[in-house]
Amino acid sequence: MGSFWAVNNPDRAECQIPLALYAASKAAATMLTVQHAKAHPGIKFNAVEPGPTATDMTAAFGIGRSVHESAKVVVRLANLDVNGPAGTLQERGRRSGLVRAC
């Protein structure tokens, strides 16, 4: 919801969801990721979007993949080596809205 690309892409679910404050908070979190990556180049700061996840909060809606499945992107980023990306927004299985910290 914080990706300009996703909320303007008619092929994405985010394009149809009018949650202004939620989207703004996600965009702010993404910008903090980029700024922290710039300020601390020795630390890998990346934002993660694991996709819809079935949690206690969303269980009533019957949506989302298991917590275990959604955690895979978090584990992948937690195990980056020194050459891994920083200052990015990453979705499960692919990079999204990649912004390399300059």
Number of domains forming the structure of the chain = 1
- Answer whether residue 101 is part of any domain: no
Q: With 70 as the cut, is the pLDDT of residue 102 above it?
A: no
How far apart are the C-alpha atoms of 15 and 56, rounded to whole Å?
25
SS3 for 69? helix
Question: In the prediction, which pLDDT does 74 show?
Answer: 87
- Answer whether residue 62 is part of any domain: yes
pLDDT digits (tens, 9 = 90+) for 45-101: 999 888 778 888 776 666 778 888 888 888 888 898 989 999 998 876 554 444 444
- Answer whether residue 102 is part of any domain: no
- Answer whether residue 67 is part of any domain: yes
**pLDDT category, 43, cuts 50, 70, 90?**
very high
Q: Specify the residue for token string 């690309």.
A: 5
- Answer whether residue 75 is part of any domain: yes
How far apart are the C-alpha atoms of 49 and 90, rounded to whole Å?
6
For residue 5, what are its two tokens?
A: 């690309």
Parent domain of 66: 4-96
- Answer whether residue 31 is part of any domain: yes
- Answer whether residue 86 is part of any domain: yes
